[in-house]
Structure 1
Amino acid sequence: MRQVRRVPSDWKHPRDGVGRYIPLEESAPDEPSPDPVSHMPAWPTEARTHWQLYEVTTEGTPVSPPCASARELAKWLADNRIEVGGFTGTEKQWRAAIERGGLIPVLMMKGKSFVNPLDD
């Protein structure tokens, strides 16, 4: 599954010694981070100005760079043909999924897959 997370504009997801992203769970805004080793910082809501897509089924690592808007993230995902379970959405499809929020799982129907936002 994928999840859009709100991050500060200068957020750089940490990497390990060989350059791989370190998996991190999301922290709630305006609350202390439960465990700084396994969670992202708990930035205040007003500092979370950018949008970033994360892989959350097994990792908690970024898929995209931080983007200044849902529209910019949707464009980046479409332009880079980011795949979710075999589906690569159009900019319009990605934007609709991002703006609904929550997790973005893939549903299979009649041999076709498509993005279906799932609210938390």
Structure 2
Amino acid sequence: MSSYRLRKVPSNWEHPKNDKGSHIPLLDGSYAEYSKGFDERKEMWNKGFQEDWDIVGTKQIPRYVPKASENEGIAFEEWDGEKRLPEAYRPDWPLGEQTHFQMYEDVTEGTPISPVFEKVEDLASWLCQELGDGRYPYPASKWLEILTSQHPSVEMIMVSPNQTPSG
């Protein structure tokens, strides 16, 4: 199963590449939001609490609970991991600049699998052509249904190879 995510990008977006010409993975979302959350979790950790999750329906709701005894004396970064650098995230463009569409895979933490398209319909046609070789035999109308049902919330699109296509 592959995991793809639809991202809105500027019209002139060119995903960065390393010196070997390979795309550099970029996490989706705002670094500023990630950093704020990291700092909040660390502050709560230092006060004796750790993050936990409640599952309500299909949503995970974060909450803080007293730190487990086995976590006493452990540095926050050892428990949660080192704080990521801003370079690990895609640019935090203003919403008005995010006018085009690009499909990313999540397995690599965010590398593009498609060119940038102005219209989501054009991306759906491209996906049909490029991924319709038997791995994901969806007609363009099915890809469009998947893409438009997920946008603009930008939820993850899970695609199973050789699923019976509909649409």
Aligned residue-pair number: 109
Give the aligned partner of residue 15 of structure 1. 17
Q: Identity percentage over the alignment?
A: 32
CA contact (8 A) 1:9 1:48 kept: yes
- TM-score relative to the length of structure 2: 0.58
Distance in 1 (alpha carbons) for counterparts of 2:4 and 2:164: 13
CA contact (8 A) 2:9 2:99 kept: yes
Q: Map of 1:41-60 to 2, 5 A cutoff? A: 41-60=91-110
Q: Deviations over 1:6-45 (max 9, x none)?
A: 00000000000100000001124xx847543100001011
Q: Structure 1: which amino acid aligns with 2:139?
A: T
User: Which structure has the bigger radius of gyration?
Assistant: 2
- Evaluate the alpha carbon distance shift between residue 71 and residue 36 of structure 1 in structure 2; reply closer, same or farther with a 3 A threshold: same
Gaps of 5+ in 2: 35-84
- Runs (4+) of structure 1 exceeding 4 A deviation are none
Offset, 1:59: 3.4
Distance in 2 (alpha carbons) for counterparts of 1:33 and 1:12: 23
CA contact (8 A) 1:55 1:62 kept: yes
Name which structure has the greater RCO, CA cutoff 8 Å, separation 6+. Answer: 2
SS of alignment partner, residue 87 of structure 2: coil
- TM-score relative to the length of structure 1: 0.79
Distance in 2 (alpha carbons) for counterparts of 1:75 and 1:60: 21
CA contact (8 A) 1:5 1:52 kept: yes
In terms of fraction of residues, the more helix-rich structure is 2
CA contact (8 A) 1:107 1:114 kept: no
Offset, 1:2: 0.4
- Evaluate the alpha carbon distance shift between residue 113 and residue 80 of structure 1 in structure 2; reply closer, same or farther with a 3 A threshold: same
Q: Alignment partner for residue 157 of structure 2, among 93, 104, 111? A: 104
CA RMSD of superposed structures (Å)? 2.3
Q: Deviations over 1:61-86 (max 9, x none)?
A: 00001100111110111122357x92
